[in-house]
A and B are shown apart, each in its own frame.
Chain A
Amino acid sequence: MSNPILAAQGLSVESLGGKERFPVLTDLNFTLQPGKILGLVGESGAGKSMIGRTISQYLPNGFAVTQGTLKFDGEDLVTMPAGRRRQLLGREIAFIPQEPLSGLNPVLSVGQQMKEHLLRIGLAPGEHWRERALKEFDAVHLPHGAGLLDKYPHQLSGGMCQRILIAMAFASRPRLLIADEPTTALDVTIQARIVKLIAEMQKRDGTAVIFITHDLRLASQISDEIMVLYAGRPAEIGPAKALFSAPAHPYTRCLQLANPTITGERRGLFILPERMPGLRVLKDLKGCRFASRCPNAVEACTLAEPPFASIGANHIAACIRPEATPDIVPPPAVAAREIEAGKMHLSGEKVTKAYTTNWSPFAKRGTFKAVSNVDFTLGEGEFVGIVGESGSGKSSLARLVVGLDTPTSGKISLAGRDVTANNAPDRAYRRDNIQMVFQDPQSALNPRRRIGSIVTQANEATGLNNSTRERMDRAAELLKEIGLPPDAASRFPSQLSGGQKQRVNIARALCTLPKILVADEIVSGLDVSVQAQLLDLLLKLRDEHGFSMLFISHDLSVVRYLCDRVLVMYRGEVVESGRTETVFAAPQHPYTRSLLAAVPPDDVMTEWSPVLAEAGYQID
């Protein structure tokens, strides 16, 4: 074996600032060989990104490496002078960020930023930065490179920005690349192409890559080796395929089973209880960090930190009973519902929303159809998924359904009443029957109101049961239903975790027991374990209250798990619809096929061939 490009030995990072000292990363040992890809997987807060920050030594305030070494090509990154490290950054060690749109400076053109970087890493003699930039853009398959140099980041899509950042990262032919969730903010189809692109570039230059992701399935497809982190400590390290097909640590197994499948038999989701313990708590924990959530935990687990057990070649797991891990099985699947044709709550006929583009002296006034001739129905107690890429009109359709916008033409009926006109009585009628759950709980919940008042907000509009006493009683019921402790009612949103906030968001929509929920991407951006908890909560609440739901998502496996029927949207039109299982098992439309192909397969042995280049169905 050659010398590793990156080697961590006993690496520990602690937070020293503030009142108490607590560990962030504990006793990390790994090596990365040149040209190999290491996948880092875990829930948010597990310490995945902290590894990237330790490599660059741009740690948050008060954080410091307290033990161990982190050697890049034999040189310790922790102890080397800052000037030497800065020389390596951008040349030998490159980074690809999570948010491509904010990773580029908004007031500098793409060319200016590319030029700055190319001049820093040095050009060949006689080479002009412009030619070089275009050459690098060609390598990442960016179209019409020349005009691109004069563009600003806000004029480009997320996928294009990410390609530019990848071109920049690989321009210096780095020996180590850290990609921190590079596709989380992108559409599925673009995600697939970006991942393939990173792999292609990596192969070209023989770069070693650390690929950070919360998606175990994706990591197992792209990586040679995977390290699963839990609360700042590796739970399992092993060759990607071996680890994914036979996880040895219960946490790896649980993560895998918490994620819904895209092919094969539908199965239930394994619900990891609670959430990862906060790093402050860990300080005083004696036993295994995962013990409190582990289905296989025995008393011995809480007594001492488990040593690494050898599972196979280069495969280790921090568990004292790895042989029991395969016993963890998911609950049975929830059967899809059949709805009788007569019992429709909501229906749309040829619904269209067109916008007129702004007048300008340089372009003709045109119309743009965000939603075009869409027919849909939603039955009592039915969950219907709407899938498609960004810009496909999913959210525009949702806005029409809840009455935030009025259709240009077509007809929307709600429980037998025509509400297309969207006048004041229509809106009052809608308010009693439809509620919306918004995507981002962070911005959807007023930070200055207490949870008890947020979840009963709907009573303000109706004026019914609006006394403080009645509202507090209702809040207590709602919090119980969504699985939050009663004392949450007196807290503010900032005191809750992301998953808890999204529960509050759902509780608020359910307050007046509407017949229909419209949910726009409500589980995207959440950890798989939290996502599984929320999906099950929705199914449980449906059993109790019998509401139906329009569920908008770009995540096809989530839709497959949750929804009875699905609509596939492309450029404002519904290109395919039907029962979820039928559509996903035998997609008829090429666009549906390319969407499905973009999802990494459940079986790690299946070849992932996302670029189904069917003409006319590519965005970006």
Chain B
Amino acid sequence: MFATIARLMVKRIFTAIPILFVVSALLFCILRILPVDPAAMSLPPNATVQEVEAMRREMGLDRPLYDQYSIWLGKLLHGDIGRSIHFRQDVTSLIGSTLPATIELAVIAMVVATVFGLAGGLLLFYVRGTRAEAVMDFASILLLSLPEFLWSLFLLLIFGVFFEVLPFTGRLSPGFERPVVTGFLLLDSLITGKFSSFFNALEHMILPCLALGIALSPSLMRVLRSSLMDAYQDDYIHQARLRGLSEARILIRHALKNAILPTLSLMGVQFGFLFGGTLLVEIIYSYPGMGNLMVDAIRNADLPIIQGAGLTYCVAVLVISIIVDSLYLILNPKLRAR
């Protein structure tokens, strides 16, 4: 099994290279077509035309597009995505400081979505054929139709403003120490033993993660419910009953193991979307992640950051899909070599 997974990973990493190449070319071209002039933007507003021209030459903007691209790509391969025009900082360090925050947010939100999705799916399945089914069905569709920014606002108003039980801005309250080891705040505060920081950071995560998780869970619930229903049509479930196994065992060990597969593919897709989807939630909760960085970059037409963030997004999606496919191999023996 491990050999199969290793083989899959090697294969996927090789196919990822051309994908990244195409994405980088697309990003580069599209952003060059935009009617913004990075040379003018990086100079003070009172700069003369000559100064702008000199800057253009210095930045290489007078050269043909493919030349510009090959220079950019060459630097990219050495880990240099350029400097932010607006923040006057290396893009790598900007992304390096915001990406962990977003990963933390996305991972915990996904855990919340999974817990709610599995529990809700099992509940929906459990009440099938009863009167509660209509109610649950209605509720799940209602949940499905509410987007994550509405949840963010609801939760913020209820728990943050009205009851005042949870913080709703940033990652940490003032006065708490911020340890930096890996950039992942929760992890770092645990490693360095700063438990008060850890719990404070965790409190800050609750509302945004709930908002994202709740918004993602209804589709998981519905997919799990329908794949459980499919599994229960299968012969092996009937056979398990005829062998006298308990219903709980049949559900958990026999049906769920099969029904989890379609749910897992949906989770993979959702997790990919989550990286772009944290944007609104980050703004609402002033959370210093990639989403906020992206918004600032777009507002200021900060091309290097947009390029860097775009590439980061692409890499993240590729990594997630490799992980999901490996999980699929572990859970579905039919995909493994004979």
Contact = CB atoms under 8 A, between A and B. Distances in A.
Contacts of B261: 107
B244 A105 contact: no
Contact of B242 (A95, A116, A155): A95
A108 interface: yes
Contacts of A154: 333-334
B269 to A, nearest CB: 21
Contacts of A89: 241-244
A152 B332 CA distance: 10
B203 to A, nearest CB: 40
A105 B243 contact: no
A60 to B, nearest CB: 11
B158 interface: no
A87 B333 contact: no
B33 interface: no
15 contacts: A56-B241, A56-B242, A58-B242, A86-B244, A87-B244, A89-B242, A90-B244, A90-B245, A94-B243, A95-B239, A103-B235, A104-B239, A105-B240, A116-B245, A360-B337
Nearest to B258: A107
Contacts of B254: 105, 108
Nearest to A98: B235
B145 interface: no
A277 interface: no
A86 B334 CA distance: 31
A106 B333 contact: yes
Interface string A77-112: 000000000111111001101010011111111000
Interface string A350-368: 0000000000110000000
B299 interface: no
Contacts of B253: 108, 116
A165 B257 CA distance: 20
B257 to A, nearest CB: 5
Highest count of chain A CB atoms <10 Å: which of B234, B236, B240, B332: B236
A89 B243 CA distance: 5
Interface string B311-338: 0000000000000000000011110011
B331 A97 contact: no
B242 A90 contact: yes
B46 interface: no
A99 B235 contact: yes
Contacts of B234: 102
A168 interface: yes
Interface of B: 7, 234-236, 238-246, 253-254, 257-258, 261, 331-334, 337-338
A90 B258 contact: no
A86 B253 CA distance: 18
A100 B338 CA distance: 19
Nearest to A168: B243
Interface residues on A, range: 20 to 34
Contact of B244 (A91, A103, A152, A155): A91
B236 A86 contact: no
A120 B245 contact: yes
Nearest to B250: A105
Given A58-B238, A97-B238, 9 more contacts: A58-B241, A86-B246, A89-B242, A89-B243, A97-B235, A102-B234, A103-B236, A108-B253, A155-B338
Interface string A43-59: 00000000000001010
A130 interface: no
Contacts of A360: 337
A117 B243 contact: yes
A104 B238 CA distance: 10
**Closest A-B pairs by Cβ, 4 of them:** A90-B244, A89-B244, A90-B243, A102-B235
Contact of A107 (B238, B241, B245, B333): B333
A117 B250 CA distance: 12
Given A56-B242, A95-B242, A104 B334 contact: no
A154 B333 CA distance: 9
Contacts of A109: 333
A181 to B, nearest CB: 12
A305 to B, nearest CB: 33
Contacts of B239: 95, 97, 103-104, 165
Interface in A322-364: 360-361
Contacts of B333: 106-107, 109, 152, 154
Contacts of A87: 244
Contacts of A105: 236, 240, 254, 257-258
A168 B245 CA distance: 13
Contact of A120 (B7, B243, B337): B243
Interface in A134-171: 152, 154-155, 165, 168
Nearest to B337: A360
Contacts of A165: 239
Contacts of A56: 241-242
Contacts of A155: 338
**Which of A86, A88, A109 has the most chain B CB atoms closer than 10 A to its own CB?**
A86
A3 to B, nearest CB: 23
Best-buried of A104, A107, A155, A165 by chain B (most CB within 10 Å): A107
B133 to A, nearest CB: 14
A105 B296 CA distance: 52
B199 to A, nearest CB: 40
B218 to A, nearest CB: 26
A97 B239 CA distance: 7
Contacts of B238: 58, 97
B44 to A, nearest CB: 62
Interface centre among B7, B239, B332 (most CB of A within 10 A): B239
A118 to B, nearest CB: 11
A302 to B, nearest CB: 39
Given A109-B333, A154-B333, A154-B334, A104 B236 contact: yes
Contacts of A102: 234-236
B241 A106 contact: no
Contact of B257 (A95, A107, A117): A107
A108 B253 CA distance: 9
A106 B246 contact: no
A56 B238 CA distance: 10
- Max count, chain B CB within 10 A of own CB: residue among A86, A91, A95, A105: A105
Nearest to B241: A58
Nearest to B260: A107
Nearest to A100: B235
A536 B228 CA distance: 44
Given A105-B236, A106-B334, A88 B244 contact: yes
